[in-house]
Amino acid sequence: MIWLIARREFRTRALSKASLVTSSVMIVLIVVGALIAKPFLESDGDAETIQVASGPTAALAPYLQAVAAAQGTDVEVIEVVDPATDALDEGVAAVLTGAVTQPELFVDSADDAVVGLVQAAVQAAALDAQVEALGGDPAQVSQALAGSTAAVIVLGDADGFDSGEFFAGFVVILVLFFVLVQSASVIMMGVVEEKSSRVVEILLATVRPSTLLGGKVLGVGLYALMQAASLMLPLVFAAVYLDLLGSIGISVGALLLNFSVWFVLGFALFTVLFGGLAALVSRQEDLGSVTTPMMLLMMVPLYLAIYLVPNSPDGPVTAGLTQVPFFAPFLVPMRLAFDAISPLEVASAIVLCLIAIPLFVWLAGRIYAGAVLNTGGRMRIADALRRR
């Protein structure tokens, strides 16, 4: 029975033209965006080409390569007979000609990184030449140079604000927030639609109010999950394809798992409650009187997660609120991103949410059952609970 209801909800949402169009447009945008962005993002990491004139200058090539390797930049050194020096060839960063110790460097602008690189290479070549002239072994010298580094001891706060972690947690709870707000509104609109079109009365003649509400939440939930997945998958594809995640240092798997667990828990907690509250009004126009407080209410845990967690990832207030089901869906993912929560805390937050869900369902079911057949103005919660 509950599946029949869920299926109808799912189908009416998923098969609606608007939904199909939006989803496909988003997917196409993300994928095409990634495909177009790739060459631009990559041109930065491309190897710089330095043309070295054949002849004496060519002796600089190994030094250029060594310096580039030490600096961690990618440089391609090509030996060219009589390179063009009045204008650089396409894709060429610099041209080097002349004697090893006093070469001439042609570049587009003097502050190119390539200038410093060539400078260092020329000095290294000169140093080698001098060492050899003095009868020493250049290899030994460079080894000694490489070996003498200072040990760095950082005295500042080691747990500095990590923007990568913050970003990962932020994305998860922000997506969660928007998906929840959107699904809650879809459910609320559905509840009011049934109420204003008065189908509820024939539905309730054969279905329990809680089953009806539950089926709705389930159907819309699956739809929202599918929609979220249809956005997340291309996003993840884009991120992997563009190699964005490497720089954040968070694994995609953990991010998705984190998201899905709290999506399901948060979904059950919030949407059930808001579905129940939606039954308090009878017309779409009055829905605002329920949705506005809902949005404000949901912003509380969102802002706590954004402002409290980075400042005090494992402080007592944060730890305490983490265990409150209403806040957990936002606080836990954020703290997980900061790696500031113990597995035990996560487990107990999940268990508490699992206990709270039936209570929320019961409460929402009561409100829903009491209010759903009431027509006319907005009903008060207390009246709805007393009703029937």
Partner 1 sequence: MPALVIDHLVKTYGDVRALDDISFTVEAGELFGFVGANGAGKTTAMRIALGVLRADSGTVTWDGSPIDLARRSRIGYMPEERGLYPRMKVGEQLVYLARLHGMGRADAERAMAHWTEVLGVADRRDDAVEKLSLGNQQRVQLASALVHGPEILVLDEPFSGLDPVAVGVMSEVLRGEAARGVPVIFSSHQLELVEQLCDRVGIVRSGRLVASGGIDELTALERPRWTLEADLPAAWTPGVPGVTAARVSERMWSVEAADAAAAPAVLASAVQSGRVTSFVPNRPTLTELFRDVVAEPEGEAA
Instruction: Give the footprint of partner 1 on this chain (CB under 8 A).
Output: 1, 4-5, 8, 12, 193-194, 197-208, 373, 375, 388
Q: In the complex with partner 1, which residue's Cβ is closer, 89 or 201?
A: 201
For helices 113-133 and 138-147, angle between their N-to-C axes, nearest 10 degrees? 130
Q: Residue 205 CB, nearest distance to partner 1 (Å)?
A: 5
- Nearest approach in angstroms of CB 202 to partner 1 is 6
Cβ contacts of 173 within 8 Å, gap of 6 or more: 302, 305, 306, 330, 333, 334
Nearer to partner 1, 187 or 265 (CB): 187
Distance (Å) of CA 186 to CA 192, 211, 225: 10, 18, 13
Helix (H), strand (E) at residue 350? helix 343-371
Cα gap 93→114, rounded to integer Å: 7
Residue closer to partner 1 by CB (options 7, 38) is 7
CB of 388 to partner 1, least distance (A): 5
CA dihedral 88, 94, 95, 99 (to 10 degrees): 160
C-beta closer to partner 1: residue 215 or 329? 215
**Cα separation, 196 vs 193, whole angstroms:** 5
Q: Which is nearer to partner 1, 109 or 197 (CB)?
A: 197
Kindly state the smallest distance separating residue 23's Cβ from partner 1, in Å.
20
Contact call for residues 317 and 308 (beta carbons, < 8 A): yes
Task: Choose between 181 and 287: whose C-beta lies nearer to partner 1.
Answer: 287
Torsion of CA 233, 235, 236, 238, to 10 degrees: 120
- Which residues fall within 8 angstroms of residue 62, CB to CB, at 6 or more apart? none
| Minimum gap (Å) between residue 3 Cβ and partner 1 | 10
Least Cβ distance, residue 18 to partner 1 (angstroms): 12
Question: Measured from the CB atom, is 210 or 322 closer to partner 1?
Answer: 210
User: With b meaning 16 or more CB within 10 Å and e meaning fewer, what string describes 110-145?
Assistant: eeeebeebbebbbebbeebeebeeeeeeeeeeeeee
CB of 378 to partner 1, least distance (A): 18
